[in-house]
Structure 1
Amino acid sequence: MSTQNLLVLATGGTIAGAADSATRHDYRPGQIGIDDFLSRVEELGIEANLTGKQIANIGSEDMSPEIWSDLHKATAAAISDPSCDGIIITHGTDTVEETAFMLDVTLPTTKPVVLVGAMRPATAVGYDGLRNFANAMRVASDPQAAGRGVLVVMGDRVFASRDIRKNRTRGTDAFAGFPRDAVGLVTPSALDWFGAPWRSDESARFDFRTDLPDVPVLFIHAGITPDYVDRLVTPETRGIIVCGVGEGNMPDPVRQRLFELCNESLSIVRASRLGEGLVDREPEDDANGFVAARALGPAKARILLQLLIAAGISEPGAIQIQFDRR
């Protein structure tokens, strides 16, 4: 394979973080600029032509629609550039699954797009950032990475954006996939895919939008009452994601209030607060007008519902079709 031309879009995060000591737990994300970071990558001697662009330098808890917009524009331009073979995005781990999913449903699948982060800052003992980045280079350089949607590389594993979830606060094995686990295994010297691409040459499923509607997340817990619902709803609210117990469950009084709001043209999607679990449709969903999130957790379900409403799709059956897609 010829030397690949890769664009690196940097947004900060722990992979660009630093602390005053190699053994301190507290650190500051987004301290290393893209030029400095790529100079460290060059010392690895991996064959690729890297070009860097700083989009932001933040902890990913501060990711915003404005940064998403800049990131989407830069990624879309690179996909359209015939001289670019693949795109790598460095990102904090806290919201990487949301950014990956947003890009996944608003970009075509004609070139590899790979997000990568680290669980330890660059100054820490056992820094995982350079290995993860070397793995991301391997994935982004492989033409077979195209057609799999936006991917995330962490801890020698490749995840599809629809599946990936951060399920630990510490350790380099903090990520898992559901309902599929990793779709590939990668090291700086090898890459193995589990199956063929499933989205070859697809156009973007949705237009990227900056005017997304208000869709809050309702966290269900013991003792919750219907007034919790009303505290979330404003005149601008267009839908609600229910972060339910078990398989998207909620107390009957809360369900009744959401049914009333559904009749007032709000879209209601039932997701689960569990890390792993499918939310299937139940008989009451037809009567209530609710949608089952299936394998999407609340954060990704929120993004998908926002995009659907912005695209003028509000009928529950049509929304359900989109949540059922792989």
Structure 2
Amino acid sequence: MAQKSEIAVFFTGGTIGMSPVEGKPGVAPGGNFDQLLKQLVPQGKAVSLRPILWSDKPSPHMTPDDMFRLARDIETSLKEPNVIGAIVLHGTDTLVETAYMCDLIIDSDKPIILTGSMRYYSESGYDGIRNLTNSIRACLLPLPPGVGACILMTDRIFAAREAVKVNSLNVDAFESREAGVVGSVAGESVILARRHSTPARRQKISPRAIVEKVALITAYTGMDRSLIDHAKHIGMKGIVLEGFGAGNIPPAVVSGVEDCVRDGIPVVLATRCIEGGVWPIYGYPGGGADLESKGVIACGRLGGPKARIRLMCALGLTSDMDTIRELFAEA
């Protein structure tokens, strides 16, 4: 008899499982995973859910190592022939970073959908059940080839490498960086927007372990090199620097960046802008072209948090600056 197909549902925590705590302000993890699953509408007899209580923590408590271990555990589940896809329930604050870690690490063509909720479990208008139900529907589809891990929130599917959280409170909190959505929910159906796209298979960066000591520093007007020096002093193995515009920083920072590159500490340049990415246009001191000529690595359209995840993985493979540069060229 053929083994029944399963979708692995990893619960990591987040608002989707939180409830008010008597005698305390706000909401907190509430152990609601089982109750959440009981409310789901059946999606057919041919597929069952495999609940995996991986953790129950707010997403700001997730560390890069947590994200890495979670990605490995998901990959292990997807290797089982009867597991047709994976869903991850996760807090929305760092959902994009965990999704990108999964996208970078996991080598599988099976659907990987991360979701959560903006409203807590017992709140009016709770969006968790709908997001989870739609994630199951998305797992039952053949997603576009090469799309990788995805985020499903508010009836829309975003590629993990393009998704960004743009609102801290609104239910409609996520958008895609210029590329548009992978698909959207219409009634009880999931409509794919990229069914006919066939992007080249992207290289995975899959080390045995990641290097967590990577700093993310945001540039500000009048900034000097002190934060760069401090990061170096406390033993950071890499730095992601969020510059202005297309990737530009104040001139007083440049000498600190040069010292890091000289000492073999990779500096990756991102931008504070949500869209557009990093382009080496300006040759003045601190301009993107000037920094690139000094050995700084441009991260393209990734954004700072995802560039940090990518650098952690790259450093887990190698400390060679040229190899790391090549790994970012494919981002």
Instruction: Give your verdict on TM over 0.5.
Output: yes
Map 1:39-58 → 2, pairs under 5 A = 39-41=38-40, 44-47=41-44, 48-58=47-57
8 Å CA contact 2:271–2:278 kept in 1: the answer is yes
Residue 286 of structure 2: aligned partner: none
Runs of 4+ in 1 over 4 A off after TM superposition: 197-200
Q: Provide the rounded CA distance (Å) in 2 between the counterparts of 1:127 and 1:71.
A: 26
- Pick closer, same or farther for the CA change 1:4–1:186 going to 2, 3 Å: farther
Asked if the contact 1:308/1:314 (under 8 Å) is kept, the reply is no
Q: Conserved in 1, the CA contact under 8 Å of 2:71 and 2:102? A: yes
Q: Residue 90 of structure 1 contacts residue 115 of structure 1 at CA under 8 Å; is this kept in 2?
A: yes
Q: Distance in 2 between matches of 1:281 and 1:239?
A: 20
Separation of aligned partners in 1, 2:197 and 2:9:
23
Counterpart in 2 of 1:7? 8
Instruction: Give 3-state SS (helix, strand or coil) of 2:108's partner.
Output: coil
| Structure 2 Cα separation of the partners of residues 314 and 187 of structure 1 | 48
SS at 2:133's partner residue? helix
**Which residue of the partner structure matches residue 323 of structure 1?**
328
Corresponding residue SS for 2:67: helix
Distance 1:249 1:147 in 2: 32
Distance 2:271 2:234 in 1: 26
The structural deviation recorded for 1:222 is: 1.7
Structure 1 CA distance for aligned equivalents of residues 78 and 190 of structure 2: 22
TM-superposition CA deviations, 1:271-307 (whole Å, max 9, x none):
1122223111343244211111111111110111121
Q: After TM superposition, give the deviation of residue 198 of structure 1 in Å.
A: 4.2
- 1:37 maps to 2:36: yes
Task: Tell me the equivalent position of 2:238.
Answer: 239
Deviates more, 1:241-250 or 1:205-214: 205-214
Query: Counterpart of 2:82 in 1: which secondary structure?
Result: coil
Work out whether residues 241 and 270 of structure 1, in 8 Å CA contact, stay in contact via their aligned partners in 2: yes
User: Which consecutive unaligned segments of at least 5 residues does structure 2 have?
Assistant: 282-288
> 1:81 aligned to 2:86?
no
Q: Distance in 2 between matches of 1:206 and 1:238?
A: 18
Partner of 1:295: 301
State the distance in 2 between where 1:199 and 1:38 align: 35
User: 2:36–2:129: 8 Å Cα contact kept in structure 1?
Assistant: no
Do 1:12 and 1:92's aligned partners in 2 also have CA atoms closer than 8 Å? yes
Return the alpha-carbon distance in structure 1 between the equivalents of residues 229 and 145 of structure 2.
44
**Matched residues, number:** 317
Aligned to 2:259: 260
Q: What is the alpha-carbon distance in structure 2 between the residues aligned to residue 80 and residue 188 of structure 1? A: 32
Aligned-partner Cα distance in 2 for 1:252–1:174: 35
Note the alpha carbon deviations across 1:226-265, whole angstroms, 9 max, x for none: 1222122236322211111222211112012201221111
Kindly state the Cα deviation for residue 146 of structure 1 after the two structures are TM-superposed: 5.8
- For residues 12 and 204 of structure 1, do their structure 2 counterparts lie closer, same or farther at Cα, with a shift above 3 Å needed? farther
Distance 1:66 1:105, change over 3 A: closer
Query: CA, structure 1 residues 128+153, in 2 after alignment: closer, same or farther (shift >3 Å)?
Result: same
Q: Under a length normalisation based on structure 1, what TM-score does the superposition of the two structures give?
A: 0.89
Output the amino acid matched with 1:9: F
Equivalent residue in structure 2 for 1:309, among 311, 315, 321: 315
- Cα distance in 2 for partners of 1:59, 1:235 equals 27
Identity %, equivalent residues: 27
Q: Is residue 27 of structure 1 aligned with residue 24 of structure 2?
A: no
